[in-house]
Amino acid sequence: MSQTLTLPDLTTIPDNIEDQLRRLLQAPRKPGLAEWLFELIKASGHLSTPDNLRWRVISMVWLAAEFDLEKAWPYLMWLNSGRPVISDHLAELLGDAANDLDCHVELANWIAQAKDERLVTFFSGFQHIPARYTMPQLVRRLLARPTAPEVGVWLATYGRATAGNTSLTLRPWRLLTAAWYATCFDPIAGLAPLRELSQGELVLSAADNKMLTDLAAELNCVTPVIQWLAACPDPAIKTMLKDFGHPDLAAFAAAIFQRPPHYEHLSDSVRHAKADVQAFKGTLKMLEQAGVSLKTAKILDLACGPLATQTLLFNSAGYKVTGADLHVPPAYLPAASLAQRLFQRGKYIKAWEAATAPYYQALAQYSGLKLRWNGLKIELADLTRLPFPESSFDGIVCLNHLQHAPDVESLLAEAARVLKPGGVLVADIIPYPALNGAFSPDGTQPYAAVTLNQWRESQYRDAFEKRFRVEVWEPEQAPQALANLTPGMQAELTGYMETELAPRRIMVTARKTG
């Protein structure tokens, strides 16, 4: 949808001219904007305080770079005392203006796209680093369109402006922007600052990896960075960032105990109990049909989750099962000390039990099983670096996770590694297109506030077929998906066929060969 552009009246310069410019900077180029900028520059000719000079210089650069250099050039030269290269004073004003108006990306692109030799020369000595206070908001905004070409231009510009800078304050931002540029735009150019930061080492140091991870966590972009890295074909980038997204499990568990116990979100799980039991029964049937002898088989519940539903049901039915996930019931978190294990962890377990009791009552009712926690094995584990030897399991179950997995291929590679030859993986995929992301188990409500990868069905299938022989690929249709697609969703999903939009989930049976 095109954005309506309303140009403020310039009979007198509005008091909120900076707010107006911020709005217009986000608008597309429209007829009339060049003339308006020119009139604004002329009308503000008598204003010379530093604040006014900031938005004036942005207006001049904007007019010069995007619309009409001939009209803007005399004003730029007047501000720059006739010098062909931007002065230190004007460069400082321009940098301050970019901070004030949050137009760092626009400015970088104006400069990068300059063709006229006068502008190229004018900006030849200009390097701008956004103020520290502007970076979080700026980067969060850009994460909404991480692969847009104009974002790549700004990332490259930031990398050049900060090259060789040893400031510890800038270091996390340099790491993130370099990793972003390397994985989404140019691996070679992005690798150079990473190599500089790592002093020539091929792998980012543990300290830098933590610094990068902490900043990504603060910006809520750990999962996107993992996805960019997973999709990056360059082996040197994969090596440099090989430890990103792989937490120190002891530190991960300790961090949980440092926060107040918070399990209230699990209290709503009771409404999924019936569907979870149905999923368990369906999984048993698929394993049996694939020839897995459940009475003797060793089963891995991959991504068991904080409820460990399938692990618990398998264990209660008398099968040999181990659960694995980064998100597990608190009783299965490793404790750093005896005191923590005996006392501190107790309040987390009590809070978890209070929140989940109704769910397990419903689970027992719908399954007809006496739930048995004794002997239950659950490992806190990185799902792409499982703590099990090769060929440890006869079967793997992975339910309601692949659509959230940042790195599907690495997860499937680990599943194949720990499966015995001929072992079977039973999984489901809740595809991205269904009702703004994914249906809830009852097929009526979409998931909210969850991370979803946007793979197409063919991408999942290709990933499975790299390491398994796919024996069952069975979409479960949800006809209401098409009826519930809003115009906005339809616009987002242009190019998807109706057959891709209708499945509620896809059931998969895959066998390890060799």
Query: Looking at the predicted structure, is the pLDDT value of residue 105 above 70?
Result: yes
DSSP symbol at 498: H
Q: What share of the chain in percent tops pLDDT 70?
A: 90
CATH architecture of 283-330+377-512: 3-Layer(aba) Sandwich (3.40)
Q: Are 401 and 426 in contact (CB under 8 A)?
A: no
Q: pLDDT tens for residues 5-46?
A: 678 888 888 889 999 999 888 875 767 899 999 999 988 876
Q: pLDDT tens for residues 172-210?
A: 999 999 999 999 999 999 999 999 999 999 999 999 999
Every domain of the chain and the residues it spans: 17-122, 132-245, 283-330+377-512
Query: Looking at the predicted structure, is the pLDDT value of residue 294 above 50?
Result: yes
- Average pLDDT over every residue of 506-511: 97
Give the H/E segment covering residue 476.
strand 468-477
At 48, is the pLDDT very low, low, confident or very high (cuts 50, 70, 90)? low
pLDDT reported for residue 3: 47
Residues with Cβ within 8 Å of 45's Cβ and at least 6 positions away in sequence, in order, are none
Q: pLDDT tens for residues 111-122?
A: 999 999 999 999
| The two structure tokens encoding residue 472 | 């069952």
- Average pLDDT over every residue of 64-82: 94
Closest by CA to 465, choosing from 503, 420, 408, 504, is 408
Closest by CA to 138, choosing from 168, 183, 107, is 107
Residue with tokens 């993986």: 425
Q: Supply the pTM of this predicted model.
A: 0.85
Closest by CA to 245, choosing from 389, 452, 385, 380, is 385
Name which of 406-410, 464-468, 489-493 the model is least confident about: 489-493
Query: Looking at the predicted structure, is the pLDDT value of residue 454 above 70?
Result: yes
Q: Are 283 and 302 in contact (CB under 8 A)?
A: no
| The two structure tokens encoding residue 267 | 């209290």
